[in-house]
Structure 1
Amino acid sequence: MASDSSDDDVPLARTNGHASAPRISKAADRAMDKSISKSRPGPTGVSIRNGPVRNDDAMDIDTSANGAPKRKSRSSLGQSVNYKDNSDSDEGAPMAKRQKARHQKVVSDSDDEPIAKKKQNGKLPPSIKETDLGDLSDDDDEPLGTKLAQKKASIEKAAAKEARAARASDAKAKKAIPKKSIKEESDDEPLAKPKKRQSNGAATPAKKANGVKKVSTKKEPDSDSDAPIATKKRVMATTTKSAAKPAAKGKATAAKKSAKFEKEDSKEGGEGEEDEEEFRWWDAPKKEDDSIKWTTLEHNGVIFPPPYERLPKNVKLYYDGKSVDLAEEAEEVATFFGSMLHSTQNVENPVFQKNFLNDFKDVLKKTGGAKDSEGKKVDIKDFDKLDFTKIFEHHKALGDAKKARPAAEKKAEKAARDKIEAPYMFCKWDGRKEKIGNPRVEPPSLFRGRGEHPKTGTVKKRVMPEQVTINIGKDAPIPAPPKGHKWKAVQHDNKATWLAMWQENVNGNYKYIMLAANSAVKGQADFKKFEKARELKKHIDRIRADYTKELRSEVMADRQRATAMYLIDKFALRAGNEKDTDNEAETVGCCSLKFEHVTLEDPDKVIFDFLGKDSIRFYNEFKVDRQVFKNLKMFKKAPKEEGDDIFDRLTTTQLNKHLSSYMTGLTAKVFRTYNASWTMSSLLQELKIDKNISIAEKIKLYNDCNRKVAILCNHKRSVGAGHEALMGKLGDRIRGLRYQKWRTKMMILDVDSTQRKQRGKEYFQLDSELDEEWIKQHQEFLVEELKTKITKKFEKDNEKLEAEGEKPLPAKELTERLGAVNELRAKFKKENETKKVEAEGKGPSVEKLEAQVEKLDDRIRNLELQSADREGNKEVALGTSKINYIDPRLTVVFAAKAKVPIEKFFSKTLRDKFKWAIESVGDDESWEF
């Protein structure tokens, strides 16, 4: 669908003044063809590398929730053995906990290789063909990259066939419906009314000028974001959040207007909710006006952080070796820095230090400055002379003391805190009680940011009520602000889904109090997202055919747009928005790629290296279609240089406008959801599940499909710092179970010595992995484990007695209980000397012991599957695909078909989030994406 834009009066490019020509002559096309290698290209459409590039030091550091760096993981071999697997996968870890990465050198023979000029800081990750992800074919040596590319090609071919069939089915259905009822039918569609079509059946194209990208210093709003009322006009047209349906009769209890809710109704865990029936919005009739989010809304406002508590008089900030006195506000800012000295990746960052010092000096200026012990002013201007050690030691001591408190004291404190916060945890939304995600206003601190953010270290000021806007129903009581304060504003915008909003001072971003992920509003937003992706499958073949044709367009803007669509569709690149680089980390996406972000290697290899979303480094190598390779080379043609846009005649807005001509509401990000869900659907349908295999084996089959989706859709992660230690733990647990199985078999001989002759010597042989040294180490671990277990049980019993007002157990009781530890140690010693194991338990028999061996075999097999699964997932982010891009109904259907509990795939949090998918599909195995 070529653009009919004019070539006249083309403005200069956004960067360095190097713009692409508005049109591409046939001579230029032929010249570019000659410059490309004639060697035969390989398969296209999949990454040929697995995992982003990371510096060695970045891979060695992990950050805990409080920012403290953890030590590099070490192998468990040769150390005390620990079989407890209390380390969860980090698939769903928040982005803020991931580590930044710096650019590294790539060795290349290309003539066009800006990446190769960068400083080498580490090694490239393993090639995808070196990573074992389970065979896609049984008996050949074809590289995995080739197999995945072929698999993706076959899936796309099937998608085209499905799209044609779906459109034919829709056309047939509409012909069968009387004209008067067509409008009613379209109202039930998950998306908007059908677009007008051209005579050939294609969507009417959006006309676009062939202009060069203009300078933009504002970030384009996401289509699904809730803007403050001041900016609502410019984003209202793109708002796509789902509406919450007022409760149907019998579905929810009508709410009484009240400033505060009953305490019983606000308890965690759902206590007090028996009176309210569940609101099944997926069964409720659809709203006529989708823009109206609520009719009535009541809530109790927000929770502000506690006021600052001053340091003891003996805890001071030191400057140039001397203690200084500070005003309360300045002391609080100094405490922000001093309390995070353990976070070396922040406090040792020169940019962090510079921004902190500038803000600290501003606060000092406003509050009278720093003074020495004699009351004389101290001019603080050199960061290196500041000493926060005493502040850090004080906060560390407080933290250690807090952790060391008895469990009963911690529990009582939590109960008291929950009681205070309970009224703020829920709201009344159209008469229903809905959980609020997080009603707390962010506390003041130092801004950290992600990646190399230019404002890292800036002071995040305390948010006051005068900065907070409340959104609430017109007839609802307005929450009272803290005493002596007032709200910035109170509004009644029933087209917004936020309850409260304020603007933070660092980046000027708006922060919102929203409903929880399991709320009806959030669920409907998820539902609409996946339904939009399902609708895309009806149009995907035409879209791909059109952009494939336009890859050869004579109009530069159309060729750039087609190339961007190819990259977004094939490799799951984000569209990318223009950013204010003075105030934000310079993260980019497809439309905002620059000259230096792309390296080309003949005949068809493209290397991408840039900071993507959340400042996570995106490094990958792709095999692309020959025409796409040629286009990218053309877009980088001189006089373009570093800093220039590759797609200088394309913006995300223009791209999304073009996409919406195919389907209402279609944007570039829908392709990520569609490709992940369609691919997962295709892979799951190909599975042939043997009824006799275990649940663990069925889970692994599902994870294998998820893993392929993650690779095909480019959802990757670096190997976690704890991966090696976790795999060591799993290996030790497996060896421990094998040792336990061997002991159980030896007990069979103790019960009936004739079993050796009947079963043969091999049955009773020790596993080859279990040598004498490891056995002694393991036995000592079992002894220490028993000791710890007995001690903890004793302490817990005493805490319970104290809570009930009774006298605690004497110390001699613990000594008596620990006698079992000495008995176990003596038992192991005897076994090692005699090479015999006495049968344990009441009435041991050969049959009972055989049953124990079978159970141990099952546990070993399951752990081995788990170990293989984790190893395969070490560089692939399964959670990203499963939570955000794969339609959850696919998982529900697979669980029903395979007879696997849904709990094996979705955690409690995800089951709440995807309750609509679980209950709307139920046991219907016929549902398809």
Structure 2
Amino acid sequence: MSDSDDDMPLARTNGHLSASSNSKIRGKAMNNSATKPKPAPVSIRNGPVNGDASPQANGKRKSRASTNNVNYKDASESEDGRLVKRQRKVIPDDSDDEVLSKRKTKLPPAADETAMIEDSDDDQPLTAKLASKRKAIEKNAEKEAKAINASEAKSKKSTPKKAVKDESDDDVPLAGAKGKKRPSNGINGKAKTNGVKKEESDSDAPIRKKAKTAPSKANVKTEKATPAKKAPAKKAKKEVSEEPAEGEDEEEEYRWWDAPKKEDDSIKWTTLEHNGVLFPPPYEPLPKDVKLIYDGTPVNLHVEAEEVAGFFGSMLNSTHNVENPTFQKNFFADFKEVLDRTGGATDRKGNKVDIKEFSKLDFKPIFEYYHAKNEAKKARPAAEKKAEKAEKDKIEAPYMYCKWDGRKEKVGNFRVEPPGLFRGRGEHPKTGKVKKRVMPEQITINIGKEAKVPTPPEGHKWKAVQHDNKATWLAMWQENINGSYKYVMLGATSAVKGQSDFKKFEKARELKKHIARIRKDYTKDLKAEAMADRQRATAVYLIDKFALRAGNEKDTENEAETVGCCSLKYEHVTLREPNTVIFDFLGKDSIRFYDEVTVDRQVFKNLRVFKKPPKKEGDDIFDRLTTTQLNKHLSSYMPGLTAKVFRTYNASYTMANLLKNLKVEDNTMAEKIKLYNDCNREVAILCNHKRTVGASHEAQMEKLGDRIKGLKYQKWRNKMMLLDVDSKQKKKKGAEYFELDADLDEAWIQEHQNFLVEEQRTKIQKKFEKDNQKRQEEGEKPLPDKELKERLRAADELAKKFKKENKTKKVEAEGKAPTVEKIENNILKIEERIRTLELQAADRDGNKEVALGTSKINYIDPRLTVVFAKKFDVPIEKFFSKTLREKFNWAIKSVEDDDNWEF
């Protein structure tokens, strides 16, 4: 079957559809009779995009009701049957060409300069190489799900499948299928936005605004500890502000993962004591000689306006922000409002100065003042810095800990955010707006009924005090930029946060039992007769295969217009025959999501249908689906299952399979770490955790390269020492062994020698200063300057030594009683260090475009990392920093005695 004669060829740029094409383009004909094997999903992330790429400002999302009368009727029918809407209108599957809109792309610039991650052997993108692995992992998941369900069937009366059928109370008939039922997803009702954001947030924030939503938001447990655990807590009753001693910390550790599980965890705490929040220091006015300049005239400002001017002036070195037109526009609008409210600006004589244009403002005197102040702060003696830190710690101590059911728990963000300029992430429309100072009158305190309420600052009072034991926050307030609520929560190392993480990963593990059936069902529903069912199946496919976030509807026009799968609009999806889909939209945190993927042929057909006229720019792709409906459908498979669980499951399950298949034998420590990071990288690519190459990356790589070259030079010097000890070694090992490495030349050696001399000189000076500081603290006289001169002679001697070596081309053996054996051992050690650094360099260069931390911290079950570290004798410190070890203490301790733990 062929398409109409007036079909135009696809416009392409660099091998894919141009993002800025100004003419209407139509897709090529689809050959419905051709049968091709379904390809594994392949993603080409952050691929090249040319053309206009300025920030996009989409309108508010349209109501679902507005699309009820859209006619999707096509000119011809497909052999796949017809899509049936709720009104029984005939909607063909995929037979005519969909008209793609003119691309009015106004998104952040494409990362053209960011190369795709490639294997060193060829030019095939790594994402393409992962496709076959993904396919094998999915097959493995299907087998595992069947095995789990078969095992459970023996010990349970009913299978999970029966339970699902019994769960649905409001089943409606599936169009065109006799006797078949499917759970209603509420498509005839109005799409509600209330609560959707919280439900779909990728962070498991235990926050609730309404009491009825608390159980699903908190994801925490307050199980009762055994009497043995409680006893020490009573003995060690201290002030909330005191930090426990190291011995007590270990003795009183609350092993909640071993404690009995409560059936109802809606009550988060029984008793709660804390000391409230710590406010930022008040504003210190500028010296009288430091002024904002307008059109060449220094101006006097009210202290409130001066503070706002200081926000901008102090960050002139952050050109990314201060040179951003949106940042400038928003700042100037808010600055003008403060000026008008506080009486405006005056010159030295008191005459009014009308500030009208941002371009005439000169913040340099303010910047220079703050810059000089910061430099002076850095240059202070170590003793002064130490004293200041001690004073700061003393002030913060009362707020750092709270008593939660009698246990001492660390508080996370107890500091109230200071005023300043909002920066946002990505291309946020409100960047540059003034974040106002938060006052006690805006803050609500949540605390136990019997506890003492924290005292607000003198002359102020709290907005409210409540005793909500179904909430896990200690204090909250509403910020002025987006109107969102800020919460003071327990720290990442607390039992509450740990339980939240544990539940998240356990829910992902539970999905293993159901994933095969879910995939089977949505694959079948890709050809469903009902439009809503087909849209839902397509959305679940995209979420499962390409880790798209579900997406939420926006409540305000001023909010950053970010989207996810369910909220994709017409212009965000471009189709290219035969089965390539290009996503291009603002994702989470206003960061551009660009992804070119190869999809199942039926998914491609469905997306063509979802883009049929009269659809146009601004219209929803999934106009029969909301996030709420999608999650309601998913929960019919498994209680609590939502779209975001797929990211955690796919990341953790993929990591588990990759680690399981690793061949680790006699690898060095550095090689084992790199193998782990390679697996982590594949997961990060799966989750699309991309990052732009940092400005410092090239400098870091150059520095690492210099370290490697320095070691090679050191190795060569040791080889030359070998000849100094035993000249016969040249004949024994051959002349090539003693040749200078190809990476090193005379100019570089001379430069490196100078660097080594200066480095030694600097170390000596620092050691001298440290010794004097210690003597001063102990009340002793400082060392005389001649002592420093004496010490610096070592650097001068090193310089002379290098000069002699360059002239004679010989190196005298160093150390006490040097022997051939000792020097050869030194050479082996240096070679090992070179190999380690080369692995680090390859690892760092491979990670320049991939954010490994996000997947490792949020999506990969930490127990997988712990098990890998145990199995291959790698210290857990190599993967988790001290902060992460505290955060994932539950994971480290819960599997320390379980050698057979599997995700």
Classify the TM-score, shorter chain.
Answer: 0.7 to 0.9
Q: Is the 8 A contact 2:570 2:618 kept in 1?
A: yes
Identity %: 67
* 1:822 pairs with one of 786, 796, 814: 796
Change (3 A) 1:517 1:53: farther
Alignment: residue pair count: 823
Give the structure 2 partner of residue 925 of structure 1: 899
Give the structure 2 partner of residue 290 of structure 1: 265
Task: State which of 577, 589, 592 in structure 2 corresponds to 1:614.
Answer: 589
Distance 2:730 2:686 in 1: 53
Higher mean displacement: 334-343 or 601-610: 334-343
Structure 1 stretches of 5 or more lacking a match? 1-30, 59-108, 136-140, 177-181, 187-192
Question: Hey, what does 1:88 align to over in structure 2?
Answer: none
Local SS of the residue matching 2:210: helix
* CA distance in 2 between partners of 1:42 and 1:371 (Å): 76
Q: 2:733 corresponds to which residue?
A: 759
C-alpha displacement at 1:275, in angstroms? Answer: 8.4
**Which TM-score applies when normalising by structure 1?**
0.83
Matched residue, 2:427: 452
Aligned residue for 1:291, secondary structure, equals coil
Confirm or deny: 8 A CA contact 1:38 1:603 kept in the other structure.
no
Q: Which runs of 5+ in 2 are unaligned?
A: 1-25, 54-96, 172-178
Partner SS for 2:694: coil
For 2:129 and 2:482, locate their aligned partners in 1 and report how far apart those are by CA, in whole Å. Answer: 46
Listed one character per residue, the Cα deviations across residues 89-114 of structure 1 (whole Å, up to 9, x for unaligned) are xxxxxxxxxxxxxxxxxxxx996365
Contact 1:336 1:446 in 2 (8 A): yes
Which stretch of structure 1 is more off in the superposition, 769-778 or 557-566? 769-778
Q: Which of 265, 281, 288 pairs up with 1:306?
A: 281
CA deviation map 1:77-129 (0-9, x unaligned): xxxxxxxxxxxxxxxxxxxxxxxxxxxxxxxx99636558679966646775x
User: Which residue number corresponds to residue 112 of structure 1?
Assistant: 100
- Give TM-score, length-normalised by structure 2: 0.85
Equivalent position of 2:706 in the other structure: 732
Q: Is the 8 A contact 2:805 2:811 kept in 1?
A: yes
Deviations 1:383-436 (A, max 9, x none): 233222222221111111111111211111011110111111111111111111
Contact 2:444 2:477 in 1 (8 A): yes
Q: Distance in 2 between matches of 1:337 and 1:485?
A: 29
**1:461-500 equivalences in 2 (<5 Å):** 461-500=436-475
Q: In the alignment, what sits opposite 1:266?
A: 243
Aligned-partner Cα distance in 2 for 1:870–1:283: 39
Equivalent in the alignment of 2:674: 700
Aligned residues of 2:401 and 2:410 also touching (Cα < 8 A): yes
For 2:740 and 2:401, locate their aligned partners in 1 and report how far apart those are by CA, in whole Å.
59
Q: What root-mean-square deviation, in Å, do the aligned CA atoms of Structure 1 and Structure 2 show?
A: 3.2
Structure-2 change in CA distance of 1:704 and 1:351 (3 Å): closer
> Is the partner of 2:476 in helix, strand or coil?
strand
User: Does residue 232 in structure 1 map to residue 210 in structure 2?
Assistant: yes
Q: 1:368-517 counterparts in 2 under 5 A?
A: 368-517=343-492
Structure 2 counterpart SS, 1:600: strand
Q: In structure 1, how many angstroms separate the alpha carbons of the residues matched to 2:866 and 2:299? A: 62
Q: Which amino acid aligns with 1:266?
A: E
Cα separation, 2, equivalents of 1:677 and 1:321 = 60
SS at match of 2:265: coil
TM-superposed deviation, 1:253 = 5.2
Distance 1:882 1:661 in 2: 29
Contact 1:259–1:299, Cα closer than 8 Å, also in 2: no
The corresponding residue for 1:49 is 44
| Pair 1:777-2:754 in alignment | no
Q: Distance in 2 between matches of 1:379 and 1:637?
A: 55
- State the shift of 1:204 in Å: 8.6
1:675 to 1:386, Cα distance in 2 relative to 1, 3 A: same
Among 119, 124, 144, the alignment partner of 1:132 is 119
Residues 842-857 of structure 1 mapped to structure 2, 5 A cutoff = 842-857=816-831
Partner of 1:858: 832
Are residues 541 and 582 of structure 1, via their aligned partners in 2, closer, same or farther at CA, if it must alter by over 3 Å? same
Taking the aligned partners of 1:36 and 1:585, their CA distance within structure 2 comes to 41
Residue 636, structure 1, aligned to residue 614, structure 2: no
Contact 2:207/2:217 (8 A) holds in 1: no
CA distance in 2, matches of 1:584, 1:601: 32
CA contact (8 A) 2:46 2:593 kept: no
8 A Cα contact 2:240 2:408, kept in partner: no
Deviation at 1:577, TM superposition (A): 0.6
Structure 1 residue 220 corresponds to structure 2 residue 207:
no
Question: Could you tell me which residue of structure 2 aligns to residue 101 of structure 1?
Answer: none
Cα displacement (A) at 1:278:
0.7
User: Could you report, residue by residue, the CA deviation over 1:775-814 in whole angstroms, capped at 9, with x for unpaired residues?
Assistant: 1121111111111111111111122222222222222222
Match of 2:716 in 1: 742
Aligned residue identity for 2:569: K
1:46-195 correspondence to structure 2 within 5 Å:
46-51=41-46, 112=100, 114-115=102-103, 124=112, 131-132=118-119, 144-175=126-157
**Structure 1's 732 and 740: CA in aligned 2 closer, same or farther, altered over 3 A?**
same
Q: Which amino acid aligns with 1:112?
A: L
Number of the residue aligned with 1:551 = 526
SS at match of 1:315: coil
Q: Which amino acid aligns with 2:254?
A: F
Secondary structure of the corresponding residue to residue 156 of structure 2: helix
- C-alpha deviation, 1:647, in angstroms: 0.8
Q: Against the structure 1 CA distance between its residues 369 and 146, is the aligned structure 2 distance closer, same or farther, given a 3 Å change threshold?
A: closer
Q: Which amino acid aligns with 1:496?
A: A
- Report SS of the residue matched to 2:459: coil
Query: Which amino acid in 2 is paired with 1:196?
Result: D
1:881 and 2:855 are equivalent in the alignment? yes
- Indicate the residue corresponding to 2:77 in structure 1: none
Q: What are the superposed Cα offsets for residues 764-785 of structure 1, whole Å, 9 maximum, x if unpaired?
A: 2222222222211211111111
Q: What residue number does 2:870 align with?
A: 896
Q: Return the offset for 1:525.
A: 0.5
Distance 1:228 1:847 in 2: 65
Alignment CA distance shift 1:252-1:276 (3 Å): farther
Return the offset for 1:837: 0.6
Matched residues in 2 for 1:446 and 1:32: separation?
Answer: 46
Structure number with greater CO (CA < 8 Å, separation at least 6) is: 1
Identify the match of residue 602 of structure 1 among 565, 577, 589: 577
Q: Within the alignment, does 1:649 sit opposite 2:627 as a pair?
A: no
Contact 2:544–2:647 (8 Å) recurs in 1: yes
1:828-847 alignment runs, 5 A limit? 828-847=802-821
Kindly tell me: are residues 583 and 254 of structure 1, through their superposed partners in 2, closer, same or farther at Cα, counting changes over 3 Å?
Answer: farther
Q: Residue 346 of structure 1: CA displacement?
A: 2.2
Which segment is superposed worse, 504-513 or 445-454? 445-454
Deviation at 1:887, TM superposition (A): 0.7
- What is the identity, as a one-letter code, of the residue corresponding to 2:274? H
- Pick closer, same or farther for the CA change 1:241–1:438 going to 2, 3 Å: same
Q: Single out whichever of 40-49 and 518-527 deviates more from structure 2.
A: 40-49
Indicate how the Cα distance of structure 1 residues 357 and 234 shifts in structure 2: closer, same or farther if over 3 A, else same: farther
Q: Distance in 1 between matches of 2:446 and 2:194?
A: 29
Among residues 311, 316, 334, which one is paired with 1:336 in the alignment?
311
Q: Which residue of 1 aligns with 2:602?
A: 627
Letter in 2 for 1:132: D
Cα deviation digits, residues 598-645 of structure 1 (max 9, x gap): 111100111111111111111110000000001111111111111111
Would the aligned equivalents of 1:302 and 1:441 in 2 still touch at CA under 8 Å? yes
